[in-house]
Structure formats: C-alpha cells, structure tokens
Amino acid sequence: MKRTSILAATLAAGLTLSACGGDSDPLDDSGEESGSSSSDTITIGSASFPENVLLMEIYAAALSDAGVDVETRGNIGQRETYIAGLDDGSIDMIPEYTGALTLYLNADAEATDPDGVYAELQDALPENLTVLEPSAAEDKDSIVVTAETASEYDLTAIGDLEPVAGELVLGGPPEFEERFTGVPGLNEVYGLEFSAFRPLAAGSNLTAQSLANGQIDVANIFSTDPSISENDFVVLDDPDALFVAQNIVPLVTTDAVNDEITTTLNGVSAELDTAILTELLAQVVVGGEAPEDVAREFVDSIG
C-alpha cells in the first residue's frame, strides 16, 4: 500500500479548505508518481485534503472487506489532475462532490438542490466515467453562527438573519465576497446586507476561531468542518438552496464498475451523513488519528 500520511494530507490542505466545496485548489505533491493499476486491482485516489483522503480510506476499507484488491493513491492534487488520472487509468476511482464535479464538467449547470445537481451530473458525465449513488453526507458551503447569536436573534435559517444582518460582521474566505454563492447571493436570495465582510485567507480555522472569539458574528465554513461541533456552532438552513448541493459520491471509471463495487459503496454512502463525516473528520484533523485507522473503525462499525 502506498504511503498515505495524515500529515501530508492535513498539511496539503493548507489554506485551501475551500477546495471541498466549489472551485477547488488542492495541492499537488504526489502527482509525479505514476503507475498503471492492474486490471483486477482497483486503485482509489484522493484529492489533497484530509476529508477526501479519509473518504478514500473508507472506500478502500469497505472494498477490501468485500474481497476486492485495493490500492490507494492519496493526495493526487486538484481536480484537473485526478480527472486526467482517471482518464489515463492511473486510478480507477475517487471520492467526489456532486456540485463541484457538475460545475467542473458543465459550467452552465444551474441546479442547486441535491437531486437536481445529481441529475445534471449524470447528464454531464462523459462515457468513460460513472458516479455511484450519492451519500446524504454533504461538504458544502454553510452559514453558521454561535449558539448565543442563534438564540439571541432566534436564528434557524439563513433568511432569519435579514433584520439583524446590518449589525453583524460576516467572515469567510476572500473569494466568498465576490462569487455569487457568497455575499452577492446572500443579498439577492435572502436579502442580507451585512455591516461588513471580513476576508479570512488563512483557512477555515481562522474563520471558526474568529467566530468563536467574536471578531466576526456570522461565518462561512464548510458543513463538515470539525469546528462546528467543537464550538456548538449553529448551521443555518438554506431553504432556497443558495449553496449548491455537494453530496459525496464515488466517481469511478466505467470500465471498473461492477456489481460488487456498486453494492459495497452504495452501502457505505447510505451509512454516511454529514454529522458522521464531520465526526470522523474531526478524529483525523483534530484528534490527529491516521485516516486509515478512522476509516477502518467506521467500516467495521457499519459491518
């Protein structure tokens, strides 16, 4: 088994946790290796951020339990790189996100709700690639506030912010201010006008810490961010689906798909939801556990 180190994964995440959601910018530190997988071995890859590495390990553990020969190649880099890897057969499979993949394949995609996005993804996929069933687990942009703020203003959904937004400071990665699924969309869809936007470029932890410490009042972080449960942040509902659904889905080369794989991974996806994924990720990122160990434990627990 190739070395997949937690650190590299964690490290590689760097400031680019934004990768999880939409326009990804993961890191490429192992793309130079290449090796073709043999036909009866399934090679699973991952992008270069911890969550994707963890998902890769979960798929690997489940498949290996099902008797499939599995190899892993973590931290391949960003989407351009690993899609090319799928095309040339360097890898056979990778954990993906429905919304981001759809927009990558079809920039004009419009749907934002899970089903719509999944349908558009199916349409956009080239023939040599297949997606299995999506999981309920999503890693997408979310708007969170502290529990105190939520109770103070009685907030449950993003729209509830409307009357008080003018007194609050919003924080998030710099690009959040510009792109539609950010400040402009919040304004247009929910009518929110924050007193200020504070761009925080040093990763989601800075955003989370700033929220926890009151430098900002409302934060854009990803739905699987461990800081949410850690700090009892409240994720506000997005009823109008401003943020594109990002359900986790295995992207497989059509050639490699078989019943065994489909059944096994659909089973895994069914067991996974955002809360579970967040917790597992926290074990890796906060607890410093090895992704393969966390994955093994999870797969064993779902039998």
Partner 1 sequence: MRLWGVDLGELIELTLDHIYLAGVPLIVGLLLAIPLGWLAVQRKWLYGPLLAATGLMYTIPSLALFIILPGILGTQILDPLNVLVAMTVYTIALLTRTVADALQSVPDHVKQAATAMGYSPLRRLFAVDLPLGVPVIAAGMRVAAVSNVSIVSVAALVGVSQLGILFTAGFNRNAMGPILIGVVACLILATLFDAIILSVSKALTPWQTSRSGS
Partner 2 sequence: MISSVFDWLSTPANWEGDRGIISQTLTHLEYSLIALVCAALIAVPMGLYIGHTGRGRVVAVSIAGGFRAIPSLGVLFIAVLLLLPRLRGELAFALPSLIVLVILAIPPILSGVYAGIAEVDPAARDAAKGMGMTGSQVLWQVEVPNALPLMFSGMRSAMLQIIATATIAAVVGLGGLGRFLIDGQATRDYDEMAGGALLVAALALLVDFVFGLVQRFVVSPGLTKTA
Q: In the complex, which residues of this chain contact partner 2 (CB under 8 A)?
A: 15, 18, 23, 171, 173-175, 177-179, 198-202, 206, 209-210, 212-215
Nearer to partner 1, 201 or 302 (CB): 201
Site membership for partner 1, residue 11 (CB under 8 A): yes
Nearer to partner 2, 23 or 133 (CB): 23
The type of residue at 11 is L
Among 7, 147, 157, 270, the residue binding partner 1 under the rule CB under 8 A is 7
- Measured CA to CA, the distance from residue 281 to residue 300 in angstroms comes to 17
Determine contact, residues 237/46, Cβ cutoff 8 Å. Answer: no
Kindly write out the interface string for residues 259-298 of this chain, putting x where it contacts partner 1 by CB under 8 A and - elsewhere: --------------------------xx-x----------
Partnered with residue 251 across adjacent β-strands are 94, 131
Q: Which of residues 203-222 bind partner 1 (CB under 8 A)?
A: 203-206, 209
Owner of token pair 């687990």:
137
Task: Please give the C-alpha separations between residue 145 and each of 22, 78, 297, in angstroms, as whole numbers.
Answer: 21, 30, 32
Q: How far is the CB of 178 from partner 2 (least distance, A)?
A: 5
Read off the tokens for 75.
């931290």
Q: How far is the CB of 202 from partner 2 (least distance, A)?
A: 5
Nearer to partner 2, 1 or 202 (CB): 202
What contacts 23, CB < 8 A, 6 or more positions away? 100, 175, 179
Among residues 93, 144, 85, 132, the alpha carbon closest in space to that of 274 is found at: 144
Site membership for partner 1, residue 1 (CB under 8 A): no
- Measured CA to CA, the distance from residue 100 to residue 50 in angstroms comes to 17
Piece of the chain touching partner 1 by CB under 8 A; list 99-107, 136-144, 198-206, 246-254: 198-206
Q: Which does 175 bind (CB under 5 to 8 A by kind): partner 1, partner 2, none?
A: partner 2
Among residues 240, 197, 239, the alpha carbon closest in space to that of 220 is found at: 197
Task: Please give the C-alpha separations between residue 252 and each of 3, 8, 76, in angstroms, as whole numbers.
Answer: 22, 24, 15
Site membership for partner 1, residue 78 (CB under 8 A): yes
- Measured CA to CA, the distance from residue 151 to residue 262 in angstroms comes to 44
Give me the phi and psi of 80, to 5 degrees please.
-55, -40
Nearer to partner 2, 222 or 298 (CB): 222
Read off the tokens for 33.
């290796």
Q: How far is the CB of 127 from partner 2 (least distance, A)?
A: 30
Q: Which does 16 bind (CB under 5 to 8 A by kind): partner 1, partner 2, none?
A: partner 1
Query: Which residues contribute to the site for partner 1 (CB under 8 A)?
Result: 5-8, 10-17, 25-29, 48, 77-78, 201-206, 209, 227, 285-286, 288
